[in-house]
Structure 1
Amino acid sequence: MNRRSGLFALLHRMVILLVAFVCLRQFLTLEEEEEGGGLVGGYDGSRRAAPAGALPHEREYLEAVHELLSGYSKAGKGRLRRFYSLLGIALAAAAGVPVAVAAGAPAWTIASLGGIAVFAQGLEQLLQDQRLGVESHAAAVRLSQELRKLHIESGAATEFRQRAVFQKFVDGVELILDYHGSASIEALRRQRVITPADGN
């Protein structure tokens, strides 16, 4: 009876540590995004507003960039949160195996913990949340930086100079999209799911 009570106490502590780990990683992810470009939540009117003197097609392009930035930010946060959640589950399940063995738990309990750990690890490798989440986060930060530079440089530019400033902005955005799009495709191309048959 004492052994069973001790097992439950250990499992309870493991669940608490798992929840604390996931919450901490989510908090750190939000902090990084706030430092990188203020990407948490929506955007206020001043950030979405086009520079004074912007032409209609420039305003349309800016709106499209804002939508892309918002999409990258949400995708990055979602993928990284899922990655840390799966990692926490895998660690908790793997750590529970020796505890279950020491407590004399049934064989099916030990096998279930090992299966959960392998499943969580394999799912993460299949989804590639860590790599793709980091790529999305980096793209959102770089797009946010390009938007800030556009507003700063356009503020003191003449009407003629504004066209050159905006073209520079467009070139920068297209380079960002090309780079991060290629990096995401490469990450998916290199993915390899480790199965129990691999022996690892």
Structure 2
Amino acid sequence: MARWEPGARERLVLAAVDLFTEQGYDATTVAEIAERAGVTKSTFFRHFPDKREVLVAGQEALSRLLSEGIADAPEDATPLEAVAAGLDRVSSEMTSFNRDLGPRIKAAVAANTELQERDRTKSVGMSAAMTEALLRRGIADPTAHLAAELGMIAFRQGWARWTETDRAADVPLATYTRAALDDLRAASAALG
């Protein structure tokens, strides 16, 4: 097993997703994931604390990108415009690797209660990162929380549409997250 080959983290994610799909999350061991990825078990643990974390590996990066996008939004941006800037920043980092992996991760998560709980925790963490970024912009607490929650809904809806559409269209994720956010803005206006 060549520990020095590049892309170990990505190979570990792919191996884990494949094994979780083939034999189930509970039946899959860290040793099997490492072997499938062509790395040692210790290499696995350099990248992930446990097998559960493999499927939410990008949470910290996503939260950071959302926060940076919100922080870099124009000074006069409304809370939802700042959230849109965060969604744009995250979207700009998503590649075909992420898009192709999305439905496979969704299937693995749907098949396991523990992974579903971890996925919910990931969403809460991303929403909290957006809320904090909005609060740093001087947005009032209830407004910051609401805008962040709408941002998370838009991200989930946009992600689902992006990963389920025809790959040949090559439409960027931002198109879908922006459309979802616009739909949510219109829906919230209809609440009265």
TM bracket (short chain): under 0.3
Q: TM-score, normalized by length of structure 1? A: 0.24
Q: TM-score, normalized by length of structure 2? A: 0.25
Bigger RCO (CA 8 Å, 6+ sep):
1
Looking at CA atoms only, which structure, 1 or 2, has the larger radius of gyration? 1
**Between Structure 1 and Structure 2, which shows a larger proportion of helix residues?**
1
